[in-house]
A and B are shown apart, each in its own frame.
Chain A
Amino acid sequence: MYDTGKIMTGLAAVLVMLTLPFWYSAATGKAVEKHDPVLPKTEKKCVESRQYMRDSHMDLLNRWRDAVVREDRHTYVSQDGTRYEMSLTNTCMKCHVERAQFCDKCHTYMGESPFCWDCHLDRKGVL
């Protein structure tokens, strides 16, 4: 008894499952679409360097939050000496006005859903 039929069916199912991302990207055709967030037009630079922001903006926000909420410190001095008020709504969102085109766009691409907007507002008063 060899059960070739059953084994080959199982093998095919497993192989399709394991290579699912390949089929998925072929089916949606969205694999290499660009997902660049829309940058602010009037401003030239962010709080820190662009690469640092891309890598670690969540870490920066976390430190800001701890500083404000736990230590009552409100001013952040960046690497190049510029001073910023440590605030999600008042600072980040002042420049990055279009949240949907900036933060959300990138987060959706990465399957992230930060829960900050449960409480914090963007500049348009949207949670």
Chain B
Amino acid sequence: MNAFLSLVAVLAVMLAAYVGTGVLDAKFLFGTVLPYAAIATFLIGFIYRIVDWAKSPVPFRIPTTCGQQKSLEWIKSDRLDNPHDTIGVIGRMALEVLCFRSLFRDTKMERHEEATVVYGPGLWLWIGALAFHYSFLVVFVRHLRFFTEPVPYVAVLLQRVDGFFQVGVPPVMASNLFLLAALAFLFARRLWSPQLRYISLASDYFPLFLLIGIAGTGVLLRHFVRTDIVNVKEMAMGLVSFKPAIPKGVHWFFFLHLTLVATLIAYFPFSKLMHAGGVFLSPTRNLANNNRMVRHVNPWNAPVKVHTYEEYEDDFRDKMKAAGLPVEKE
């Protein structure tokens, strides 16, 4: 049901784009207004979410410790899994962000025979996620050719490497195959396992369908529904230089791609996709475990009014002397 709802939502976006540009010719709306609106929503939403998170204080160090803590000289500590300083934290975060180390740790629990529970590594999610994120990155960087003039050399080089096998004209990009395969797997995974299906929400399926729609329309644009992509670039350059131009001679099918992308961008700050920013702010990952080395004072502790012994003595010195009590200061 959740999957079905999300599919309907994505198809509705595509239908709107088709009606808007294939039937009604509202290219200004779909080619200029919508992209700018999406970018503005993204920027404002992204800043809002991060600032909102940044406002939550972290008074104490709460990293997940997965190794030996730093203590005595002769006990070997685990710098990455229980970092005690900034270098360790940077290493840990780098592995997390670039290699998805937490996903690598995923375990699978299965019941074998009568009541025997077996745990084992569950690497498929990790592999699927890596394949998806890196091929997405490659596609993203290659798309810079639409938004830059002159096109930076990295984008050209990446395109050549990506099309290394020179299959077809224009050449098939290896990253596209990986992207589609990874997305198909990440979707199938949710349907396959009953437990996963049970916990999957519409907001899990919706970004998946959006991405499948984007990659699907993109690949179709490249290999089957050819359109004048020089005009697409002129439109894109108009957008980035704030001199928007409505593209001529561009097939409506391109607007399906663009509208899905705009939807994804606008949806980003409100969705689980914000994990892109959130991962950097995870206190269980980005804090050094130095609770025993550094005193962390809770910044919003209410100020306690204290009355020290010295002050007490100042107040009562005469009386104490008179009663014959010893005093520290004469």
Contact = CB atoms under 8 A, between A and B. Distances in A.
A51 B226 contact: no
A54 interface: yes
Given A15-B47, A111-B156, A113-B160, A3 B147 contact: no
Given A1-B296, A28-B150, A32-B243, A55 B166 contact: no
Interface of A: 1-4, 7-8, 10-11, 14-15, 19, 21-22, 24-26, 28, 30-33, 35, 51, 54-56, 58-59, 61-62, 65, 106, 108-115
B241 interface: yes
Contacts of A19: 43
CB-CB nearest 9 A-B residue pairs: A31-B241, A111-B145, A111-B151, A21-B147, A62-B169, A7-B54, A21-B240, A56-B226, A55-B226
B26 interface: no
Interface in B52-95: 53-55, 57-59
Contacts of A15: 43, 46-47
Given A32-B238, A55-B227, A111-B156, A8 B54 contact: yes
Interface residues of B, number: 46
B74 to A, nearest CB: 32
Given A1-B57, A21-B144, A109-B233, A33 B149 contact: yes
B150 A30 contact: yes
B169 A59 contact: yes
Contacts of A108: 150-151
Contact of A25 (B148, B166, B296): B148
B241 A32 contact: yes
Contacts of A33: 149
Given A11-B51, A62-B168, A113-B156, 5 more contacts: A1-B59, A3-B54, A55-B226, A55-B228, A114-B169
A65 B168 CA distance: 11
B280 interface: yes
B89 to A, nearest CB: 11
Contacts of B122: none
A30 B227 CA distance: 24
Interface string B113-153: 00000000000000000000000000000001101111100
Interface in B230-253: 230-231, 233, 237-238, 240-241, 243, 245, 249, 251
A97 B154 CA distance: 30
Contacts of B238: 31-32
A35 B226 CA distance: 20
Contacts of A35: 230
Given A21-B147, A25-B148, A110-B230, A7 B169 contact: no
Contacts of A1: 57-59, 296, 299
